[in-house]
Amino acid sequence: MGNVSVEKFNEIVATLADDYFWGSINSIFKTNIPFLGEMPILAVLLLGTGFYLTIILRFMPILRIPAGFALLWKGRKAGKGEEGQITPFAALMTALSSTVGTGNLAGVATAITLGGPGAIFWMWMTALVGMATKYAESMLAVRYREVDADGNYKGGPMYYIKNGLGPKWKWLAIIFSVGTLAGAVAAGNMVQSNGIADVVNESFGTPRVATGLILAGLAFVVIIGGIKSIGKFASKLVPIMAFSYVTAAIIVLIMNASGIPGAFKLIFDGAFSGNAATGGFSGAVVALAIRAGIARGLFSNEAGQGSAPIAHAAAKTKDPVQQGTIAMLGTFIDTIVICTMTALVILTVSGDFKHNPAVSQLKACAINSAALGSEQKIRVDSGLFTVANGDHMVEVDGKIINKTDFSKADVVAKLDQCKALAATGNTGIVIDDNAYAGVMEDLRLPVDNAWQSDLEGARITSAAFAAGIPGGGYIITFALMVFAFTTILGWSYYGERAISFLFGEKAVLPFRVIWCVFTFLGALLAVKSVWKLGDIGNAAMAAPNLIAVLLLSGVVVSMTRGGKDTRPIQPHDESAHAKGLHNVDGKPD
């Protein structure tokens, strides 16, 4: 009975996340709009906002990338008389600590698996327009931040909604804050600690309890000191972390240099003609590439989600435009640099890889049926892949048990369901005899690259690194642990600012303790719905944030073109910037 209840809960959460919070226009409103109608509404809003801001800012974020790096170097130390809690450099490193994470390893691999190499091109495009969104939201965070009696600088979407849009919009700020808490605890904490526990247990046999205790203890040591402690830690670890990973990737690419031109050819050809690992139908593979690239790009760099502005609001600066210019580099570093390195390694390195046709054809069935609409959508639980690959029977306390809720008969039944849908017309779904042989006869077919194999997520990246350089698998193991841990630290600050907005500063210290408890529990629990709860939280963050950024886009343009804030103070504006009269309407400080 308990298992049934858990499965039902997981199904409800998955439905809410996939079909509503991240549902497409076609699936929610029962329309049949080509391409855009097949994309999640929030993805359209995220991409559309970035494109709109890029246009009205006259491509400034892209053109000022070199200037941004110059300001970042200068921002290692705060200028005299600047107000805030951490240096501009530390603010970006704190934002990157949560942004650079498993998405750079697992997310890139997933994008290639779902949409083919062409997904990387669209990931780049998403990052370029996402820079404008990151610039705008971080600039607004500094402009509308507040400071309390204890000297805590508090900012982010909830504050530019409250101080920029006015008291009537506070409900939107509350939705954002609740979403931030959900996203932080689920995707920013428990999922990360669970991932670390998985990797450490698989690689070194370390018990999950021990890993959870160590993670919780380390997290507590850093976050108990608040943003100054997190910023100081991030300023030292994040640059080393990013540089080391990029260096390792470059070494792999040098050792496999002959495959680099082919990798770029796959990316550009796939962007406009399509070549998905899981297969697809003519005309839809390009759409898959675009959807996968946009979705994974947005998830990786968090542009428009509203998380990074919370960190940038604590920067020691009086100039919102300057901090926004530094902030937009986070999107560039995360996606254009780090994600690109991951993608090139995955696409360049070849090796002895194999795939199960049952797994690849079931994945294609799930993807293509979803593109046909919600009524024809066929859900394929990941447990079916485990069974198809024969990894479901394990020994526990001397007994052989099935670690999934499925059998080979269930896999065959799902193949039959997909085959029946394929027979209805031009669905792009192909179920052949090899698929059934993959389940019943353990058939495995050779492939050249890890992204074409049965591996998933970070395991694709790990396998590519392992094939490209001796010890490459251990590089990814270590990178996953460090990336995930810094994500826990960065999101802890976002969570505490959200709870401070909702309940006051008195709630912050208890939250930090509870946060570490969730870090420990995340290492022990393997709850499928945690990822989906994080997706729901992220959606509840992104929607209010994007609404506010669009409504305040006039402020963004006015401040950008004036250099300093040239917008008159509004009666409801309680921000530190307004109270300090920092060059408002051209007046001196």
- Domain ranges (residues) in the chain: 42-352+458-586, 357-443
**Residue scoring higher pLDDT (509 or 390):** 509
Mean pLDDT of 227-241: 91
- Tokens in use for 252? 């792999």
Mean pLDDT of 368-388: 76
Please state, in angstroms and rounded to a whole number, the distance separating the CA atoms of residues 313 and 323.
9
Question: DSSP characters for 463-481?
Answer: HHHHHHSTTHHHHHHHHHH
pLDDT of residue 281: 40
Please state, in angstroms and rounded to a whole number, the distance separating the CA atoms of residues 285 and 280.
5
The 10s digit of each residue's pLDDT in 277-288 is 444 443 455 566
Q: How many other C-beta atoms are found inside a 10 Å radius of the C-beta of residue 505?
A: 15
Partnered with residue 355 across adjacent β-strands are 445
* Terminal-to-terminal C-alpha distance of the chain: 67
Looking at every residue in the chain, the average pLDDT score rounds to: 84
- Cβ burial, residue 7 (10 Å; 0-12/13-18/19+): middle
Helix (H) or strand (E) holding 355, with range, is: strand 353-355
- Tokens in use for 311? 């960190």
**Residue scoring higher pLDDT (398 or 468):** 468
The 10s digit of each residue's pLDDT in 419-435 is 888 888 777 778 889 88
- Cβ burial, residue 66 (10 Å; 0-12/13-18/19+): exposed
How do strand 445-447 and strand 399-402 relate by DSSP bridges?
unpaired
pTM of structure: 0.86
CA angle 229, 86, 74 (to 5 degrees): 130
Q: Extract the runs of DSSP E, i.e. beta strands, from 397-518.
A: 399-402, 445-447
| pLDDT above 70 for 397 | no
Mean pLDDT of 66-82: 87
φ, ψ of residue 470 in degrees (nearest 5): -60, 130
Mean pLDDT of 255-283: 74
**Residue scoring higher pLDDT (49 or 99):** 49
Nearest Cα neighbor of 464 from 256, 268, 246 is 256
Confidence of residue 7 (pLDDT cuts 50, 70, 90): low
42-352+458-586 in CATH: which number? Answer: 1.20.1740.10
Q: Return all residues near 371 (Cβ < 8 A) that are at least 6 apart.
A: 38, 284, 287, 288, 428
Confidence of residue 373 (pLDDT cuts 50, 70, 90): low
Please state, in angstroms and rounded to a whole number, the distance separating the CA atoms of residues 527 and 524.
10
Q: Return all residues near 199 (Cβ < 8 A) that are at least 6 apart.
A: 477, 480, 481
CB-CB contact of 339 with 72 (8 Å): no
Q: How far is CA 365 from the centre of its chain?
A: 25
Q: Which residues of 146-161 are buried (b: 16+ CB within 10 A; e: fewer)?
A: bbeeeebbbbbbbbbb
pLDDT of residue 282: 37
Nearest Cα neighbor of 223 from 213, 233, 214 is 233
DSSP state of 570: P
- Cβ burial, residue 429 (10 Å; 0-12/13-18/19+): buried
* Maximum C-alpha span of the chain: 79
CB-CB contact of 62 with 131 (8 Å): yes
**Residue scoring higher pLDDT (444 or 175):** 175
CB-CB contact of 309 with 541 (8 Å): no
Q: Return all residues near 171 (Cβ < 8 A) that are at least 6 apart.
A: none
Mean pLDDT of 378-401: 76
pLDDT of residue 518: 93
Mean pLDDT of 52-80: 91
User: If DSSP codes are grouped into helix, strand and coil, which group holds residue 338?
Assistant: helix
Mean pLDDT of 298-309: 83
How do strand 399-402 and strand 146-147 relate by DSSP bridges?
unpaired
pLDDT of residue 289: 63
pLDDT of residue 61: 93
Return contacts of 16-21, CB within 8 angstroms, 24+ apart.
16/532, 16/536, 17/532, 17/533, 17/535, 17/536, 17/539, 18/532, 18/535, 19/374, 21/535, 21/536, 21/539, 21/540
| pLDDT above 80 for 483 | yes
Q: How far is CA 532 from the centre of its chain?
A: 13
Q: How many other C-beta atoms are found inside a 10 Å radius of the C-beta of residue 420?
A: 12
**Residue scoring higher pLDDT (112 or 464):** 464
Please state, in angstroms and rounded to a whole number, the distance separating the CA atoms of residues 335 and 479.
16
Share of the chain above pLDDT 90, in %: 39
Confidence of residue 372 (pLDDT cuts 50, 70, 90): low
Mean pLDDT of 268-278: 67
| pLDDT above 90 for 67 | yes
